[in-house]
């Protein structure tokens, strides 16, 4: 029986063998692997790309103080982007499940309709949730739009829920009982992260300060987006223009929004407004980043 990390190694190796760049997690908080620049920005434009990375993803409202066997504040997603999508993409995906020891002739696998949409990212796609013996183990999405832009190549996004898959493989009732590495459980590695972050997210986070931070990060992101649009900016200046930094600030906004939401500080009415603020920034960065492609190509 493979450990958590061994399963990750195998999946990374599997996708590396199929031509993917194996990247490391992004270092700013994200709510999903989709939000990491390796997905959100790489899917834009005509340049082909293949990448796989594990992305710890923070969902403050899903925290349960480390008490719930299946719900986590932070879970690990293995994110694969194949741009454009190869014709045998589903076979490749099924092969990856076999590579980590799932005999698909003995298990019930179904692809059930599940379209994905992220209003905050101006992004949507069409796809499935992959069900294995009744458990959702993967989100499979053909991206169609990102940052409000129709995508040049349609990427396949394959998002594996690693805790679910490994607790399935190891037959554990609780993710905390997963063997992460020989002699170390998931609990050993992550329990206090779940407990303390839940305390912070639900009880301690300073709501007025979080709102101020949101305003600050928003202002910085907006300043950078606006700066790219200034008339007369030379090509060479555009090439070095820090849109990636602008995007980091958007990610900060998104995480602050999630924190405020977990604190119950956002009413239903305000919610729509804050989502629109973040969306405006994300779309602004995406469109500028797409424009910047022509300058990036120049050596």
Partner 1 sequence: MLPFLLEIGTEEIPDWMIPSALEFLRSKFPGENVRVDGTGRRLVVRADVPARSADREELVTGPSVSVPAKALEGFCAKQGVTAADLAVIDTPKGKYWSFTRQIPGRNAADTLREAIPALIMSIPWPKTMYWPSIGGPKFIRPIRWIVALLGAEIVPFECAGVTSGNTTLGHRRLGARGPLPVTVDNYEQVLRDNFVIVSAAERRAKIETEVAAVAAAKGLQAKPDAKLLEVLTYITEYPTAILGTFDASYLTLPSEVLVTVMRHHQKYFSVETAAGELAPHFIAIMNIPADPEGHVVNGNERVLRARFNDARFFYDVDQKRPLSERVEDLSHVTFQAKVGNYLEKTARVAALAGELGGPDAEAAGHLCKADLTTEMVKEFTDLQGLVGGLYARAQGVTRPVAQAIYEHYKPLSMEDTIPSTAPGQALSVADKVDTLRTCFAVGMIPSGSKDPFALRRAAQGVVKILAEGSLTVTLDELCAGDAKLTAFFRERVEYYCREVRGFAYDEVAAVLAAGYGNLPDALARLDAVKAVRPTADFEPLAAAFKRIKNILKQAGELPAGVPDAALYTEPEAALAAITEATDVATGTYPERLARVALVRPAVDAFFDKILVNDPDPMVRENRLRLLTLLINKFSAIADFSEIVTN
In the complex, the residues that contact partner 1 under the rule CB under 8 A are 68-71, 84-85, 87, 90, 94, 104-113, 115, 125-126, 128, 132-135, 142, 144, 150-154, 168, 173, 267-269, 272
Residue 125's beta-bridge partner residues?
Answer: 116, 143
In the complex, the smallest distance separating the C-beta of residue 114 from partner 1, rounded to whole angstroms, is 9
Q: Which is nearer to partner 1, 168 or 184 (CB)?
A: 168
Bridge partners of residue 11, in order along the sequence:
none
Give 213 or 275: the residue with its C-beta nearer to partner 1.
275
How far apart, in Å, are the Cα atoms of 103 and each of 97, 107, 143? 8, 7, 29
Q: Which residues of 155-166 are buried (b: 16+ CB within 10 A; e: fewer)?
A: bbbbbbbbbbbb
150/231 with CB nearer partner 1: 150
Minimum Å gap between C-beta 228 and partner 1 is 24
- Residue 195: which of 73, 105, 24 has the closest Cα? 73
> In angstroms, what is the minimal distance from the CB of 113 to partner 1?
4
176-205 core/surface letters (b: 16 or more CB in 10 A; e: else): bebbbeeeebbbeebeeebbebbebbbeeb
Choice between 69 and 227, CB closer to partner 1: 69
How far apart CA 136 and CA 161 sit, in angstroms, is 8
Question: Of 27 and 173, which has the nearer Cβ to partner 1?
Answer: 173
For the CB of residue 265, give the shortest distance to partner 1 in the complex, in Å: 11
Angle at which helix 207-228 crosses helix 243-262, to 10 degrees, equals 160
94-113 burial by CB neighbour count: b if 16+ within 10 A, else e?
A: eebbeebebeeeeeeeeeee
Contact 240, 228 (CB under 8 A): no
| Smallest separation, CB 84 to partner 1 (Å) | 4
3-state class of 75 per DSSP?
A: strand
Nearer to partner 1, 64 or 239 (CB): 64
Q: What is the smallest separation between the CB atom of 266 and partner 1, expressed in angstroms?
A: 10
């Amino acid at each position: 029986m493979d450990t958590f990390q061994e399963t990750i190694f195998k999946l990374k190796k599997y996708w590396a063998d199929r031509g993917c760049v194996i990247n490391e997690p992004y270092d700013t908080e994200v709510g999903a692997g989709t939000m990491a620049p390796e997905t959100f920005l790489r899917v834009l434009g005509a340049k082909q790309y293949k990448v796989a990375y594990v992305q710890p993803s923070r969902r403050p409202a899903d925290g349960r103080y480390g008490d719930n066997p299946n719900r986590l504040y932070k879970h690990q997603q293995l994110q694969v982007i194949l741009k454009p999508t190869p014709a045998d993409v589903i076979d490749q995906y099924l092969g990856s499940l076999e590579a980590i020891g799932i005999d698909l002739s003995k298990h019930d696998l179904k692809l059930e309709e599940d379209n994905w949409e992220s209003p905050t990212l101006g992004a949507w796609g069409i796809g499935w949730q992959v069900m294995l013996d009744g458990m959702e183990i993967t989100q499979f999405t053909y991206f169609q739009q990102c940052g409000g832009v129709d995508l040049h190549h349609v990427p396949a996004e394959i998002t594996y829920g690693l805790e679910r898959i490994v607790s399935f493989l190891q037959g554990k009732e609780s993710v905390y009982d997963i063997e992460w590495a020989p002699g170390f459980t998931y609990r050993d590695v992550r329990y206090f992260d779940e407990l303390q972050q839940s305390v912070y997210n639900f009880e301690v986070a300073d709501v007025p300060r979080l709102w101020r931070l949101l305003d600050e990060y928003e202002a910085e992101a907006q300043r950078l987006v606006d700066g790219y649009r200034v008339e007369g900016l030379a090509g060479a200046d555009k090439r070095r223009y820090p849109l990636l930094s602008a995007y980091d600030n958007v990610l900060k906004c998104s995480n602050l929004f999630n924190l405020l939401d977990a604190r119950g500080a956002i009413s239903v009415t305000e919610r729509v407004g804050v989502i629109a603020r973040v969306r405006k920034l994300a779309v602004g960065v995406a469109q500028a980043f797409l424009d910047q492609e022509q300058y990036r190509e120049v050596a």
